[in-house]
Chain A
Amino acid sequence: MATSIKLNKVVKRYGAVEVIHGIDLAIDPGEFVVFVGPSGCGKSTLLRMIAGLEKITGGDLLIDGERMNDVPASQRGIAMVFQSYALYPHMSVYKNLAFGLETAGYKKAEIDERVQRVARILKIESLLQRRPRALSGGQRQRVAIGRAIVREPKIFLFDEPLSNLDAELRVQMRVEIAKLHQDLGNTMIYVTHDQVEAMTMADKIVVLRDGIVMQAGAPLELYNRPANQFVAGFIGSPKMNFLAARASAGANTIEVAGRNVSLDAALAVRQDEPLTFGVRPEHIAVGGEAGEMLGEVKVQLVEHLGGGTVLYATTAGGENLTISAAGQLRVRHGENVPLRIDPAICHVFDSQGMALRS
């Protein structure tokens, strides 16, 4: 049966420096949760606190309702896959997989049965007698995952497990980990700085910044309704465009790039209040008739990706803008192109960076 995790006002301090600032988070049984954020945001520290590798300075960690703050790592029912894999280089793959079971005092026959079963699941049967140095990056990754699975833990933790792999292998392993979650149904927490990994794998994404949860929710919720400018910029690739804006006459109109853009409904803002207008590159149309006119921009660079075209442009006011269009646009460097947007899927942020909902 899958396991729930709850963090109540969890704090981490190193001396006088507080790096995790009272995080509250609930993870449902069987959920695949991804901690995402830039380097130094505290995502790995938070994971290690759940694992029991870092002491929790304040607050409570509850696993299935039981307080775990002072329970040793090995007794929390957790297995972890490390960024560096942490395979023992002097042991064969078999011995690496069996180490935890031997430590726990399992009988030889049981250990062998479990190791063989995991090897079959991960398709590493032929590698069992090899040493880690004789394995490729992808194979090492499988062994590291195998070492976690073989103990049959309640919770899996992954600390940037794909960051040492090349792009192709990363995509492949991403799919395999997602499949593994479907098959095993365990609660999993996965740390990454790659928002594409987060979007593709997670049931729930937790976006962290400077030890604070900026937003937690389903991937599309974060994409469609970011709570603040940081999440809006972090989720989505290419990242969201931000343009300086101002509350215009009438609460449902704002001035962006020298033009008035009508919103669907009124915002609770003062006249002339400085705002930030956010629009995703894929939500901007080049030419056409639909939506509202955003004005003309000058194309600085064109990237033809085959299935799509990415334009890097500047507005008349000198602001940078990225446009991601489907298909192969016949646009050249230096050309002026008209842009149109659908205000219903655009975003407005106040001067504190908080999203304003109409």
Chain B
Amino acid sequence: MRKIVLSSIVIALLVFSGCSSKKPAVDELSEQQKVVKVEEVPAVVTETVADSSASVVANTDSTETIMANLEKEMLSVYFDFDKFDIRADMKDKVSSDAQLAKGAAGNFMIKLEGNCDEWGSDEYNFALGLKRANAVKNALVAEGVEENRVTMVSYGESNQVCTDKTKECWSKNRRVDFKLLP
């Protein structure tokens, strides 16, 4: 079932029930000056809505299945700590991914998702994830994948596949995953 996720922003209800004002304020009584304003903030909610075209599924379903199966065949590429160059032992994986990208997955866009371990939760980590994705992209392009078929995104440390605090776990998180887009 294909669902298109529409992100729409709606104004949510105020937290304070029975509060007529949007901005409850700490008011000092007459003899004092103004003290503090507590602005109550309407929540911005990202809604997930099933698109009406979701009922047209016959073809999409099979394409989705093909994509899902291909994604399973594409091998994640792992990296060393604080590094974004492709390790020697990962080169075969990248080549096999490139063959798939040129062959069976030739009709799809490729999205590379860069990820990092938990050591560092700042912008630098996102940049590191991106440089990893970019290294894989360059390797794919070098093996003949068209550059304009590859997009990238970095998730920093916020998309971990393993959350234990072990060496093995951290190394599993320093990776680039493959996703296919129609």
* A and B together in one complex: no
A residues in contact (CB < 8 Å) with B: none
